[in-house]
């Protein structure tokens, strides 16, 4: 990317590039998902400046069936049999057929979210290099409805939102600090947004150093490619209510794309994993007692109060 005009409004250029890609049509013998083709390359907005775009994909529900059967042709039989096979594979954690589908995204996201994301190691990443190029002047400021206070019960969660003066002060700090940092980023590199030098006599600090003065809510972007099995694993953890809200917003968008791409796999995934239930040996014994009409206590069961509460939450919701 040409950093001479790095801060210009490039959105029109980008939209033109995306339209150009969408206007191109090719003939292929490959498995093709007509639903996914409809949204290919398009930007789906997330948070204030982020997005997710599908750039490419390989396979669909039929490719899973085909690989599971190691077949010469399509490998598919009656729709009901294929659906049954996908459900069976999902139920019994047969992961390798789901690895036979692959998808590639272009994602723009705040750095502190990128740091969580990258911990999913079985994926391919090419990130925009701030050693090489200048980062855009874009940073994440939460909606006032997402300004969660520190949770008192869960040390890594958030509770009800800040309000009034406290919320206003926080939003003010986040904005002012981010703007100040970007100004100093430019000043240290000795470069204006027009691409000109600020001070003709200065050398300008290297980009690889100057970037360290930006804060973790600045946006970065990357190409991210992953197989369907590992993508579902990512979604199970990151579309979960324990995940940080900001990454969950990305996961929710991707989950909808998965539904378009592999609808049968999506349904099985929701049924067995997202909304499925895992119980310990002892909790399951307690459930069986309940079915049989006895009313065990957590002490009877030798289970911690915390696990007991978790179990009762499950039963009563």
From the list 53, 207, 211, 238, the catalytic residue is 238
- Those residues whose C-beta lies under 8 Å from the C-beta of residue 87, and which sit 6 or more positions away, are 264, 268, 271, 272
Binding of residue 50 to a second copy (CB under 8 A): no
Nearer to a second copy, 193 or 206 (CB): 206
CB of 217 to a second copy, least distance (A): 4
Nearer to a second copy, 118 or 256 (CB): 118
Interacting stretch for a second copy, rule CB under 8 A, among 52-60, 248-256, 257-265? 52-60
CB of 25 to a second copy, least distance (A): 5
Is residue 66 within 8 Å of 76, Cβ to Cβ?
Answer: yes
Size of the site for a second copy (CB under 8 A): 138
For 34, other C-beta atoms within 10 Å of its C-beta total 8
Exposure string over 214-232, b if 16+ CB within 10 A, otherwise e: bbebbbbbbbbbbbbbbbb
Binding to a second copy by CB under 8 A, coded x per residue (else -) over 141-180, reads -x----xxxxx---xxxxxx-x---x--xx--xx--xx-x
Report the greatest alpha carbon distance in the chain: 85
Nearer to a second copy, 259 or 307 (CB): 307
Torsion of CA 17, 22, 26, 30, to 10 degrees: 110
- Whether 238 sits among the annotated catalytic residues: the reply is yes
CB of 304 to a second copy, least distance (A): 7
Instruction: Name which position in 125, 195, 260, 301 contacts a second copy (CB under 8 A).
Output: 125
- Those residues whose C-beta lies under 8 Å from the C-beta of residue 65, and which sit 6 or more positions away, are 75, 76, 77, 82, 85, 86, 97
Q: How far apart are CA 146 and CA 160, in angstroms?
A: 9
Nearer to a second copy, 228 or 254 (CB): 228
Interactions with a second copy, residue window 230-259 (CB under 8 A): 237, 242, 244
φ, ψ (nearest 5 deg) of residue 221? -150, 155
Binding of residue 5 to a second copy (CB under 8 A): no
Interactions with a second copy, residue window 60-119 (CB under 8 A): 63, 66-74, 84, 87, 91-93, 96-97, 99-100, 102, 104, 106, 110-112, 114-115, 118-119
Interactions with a second copy, residue window 284-303 (CB under 8 A): 284, 287-288, 290-291
Nearest to 63 by CA among 51, 52, 74: 74
Could you list the active site residues? 238
């Amino acid at each position: 990317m040409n950093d001479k005009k790095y801060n210009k409004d490039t959105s029109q250029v980008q939209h033109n590039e995306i339209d150009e890609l969408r206007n191109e049509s090719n003939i292929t013998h490959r498995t093709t998902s007509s639903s996914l083709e409809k949204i290919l390359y398009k930007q789906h907005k997330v948070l204030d400046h982020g997005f997710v775009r599908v750039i490419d994909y390989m396979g669909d529900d039929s490719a899973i069936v085909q690989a599971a059967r190691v077949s010469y042709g399509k490998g598919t039989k009656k729709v009901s049999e294929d659906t049954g096979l996908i459900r069976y594979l999902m139920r019994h954690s047969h992961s390798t057929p789901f690895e036979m589908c692959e998808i590639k995204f272009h994602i723009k996201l705040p750095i502190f979210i990128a740091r969580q994301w990258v911990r999913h190691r079985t994926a391919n990443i090419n990130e925009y290099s701030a050693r090489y190029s200048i980062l855009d002047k874009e940073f994440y400021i939460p909606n006032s409805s997402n300004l969660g206070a520190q949770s008192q019960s869960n040390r890594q969660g958030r509770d009800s939102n800040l309000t009034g003066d406290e919320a206003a002060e926080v939003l003010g700090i986040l904005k002012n600090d981010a703007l100040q940092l970007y100004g100093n980023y430019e000043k240290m590199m000795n470069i204006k947004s027009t691409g000109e030098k600020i001070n003709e006599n200065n050398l300008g600090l290297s980009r690889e150093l100057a970037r360290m003065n930006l804060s973790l809510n600045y946006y970065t972007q990357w190409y991210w490619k992953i197989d369907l099995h590992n993508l579902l694993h990512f979604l199970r953890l990151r579309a979960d209510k324990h995940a940080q809200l900001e990454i969950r917003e990305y996961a929710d968008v991707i989950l909808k794309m998965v539904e378009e791409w592999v609808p049968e796999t999506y349904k099985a995934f929701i049924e067995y994993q997202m909304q499925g239930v895992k119980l310990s040996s002892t909790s399951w014994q307690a459930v069986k007692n309940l079915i049989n009409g006895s009313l065990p206590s957590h002490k009877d069961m030798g289970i911690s109060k915390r696990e007991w509460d978790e179990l009762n939450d499950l039963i009563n919701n």
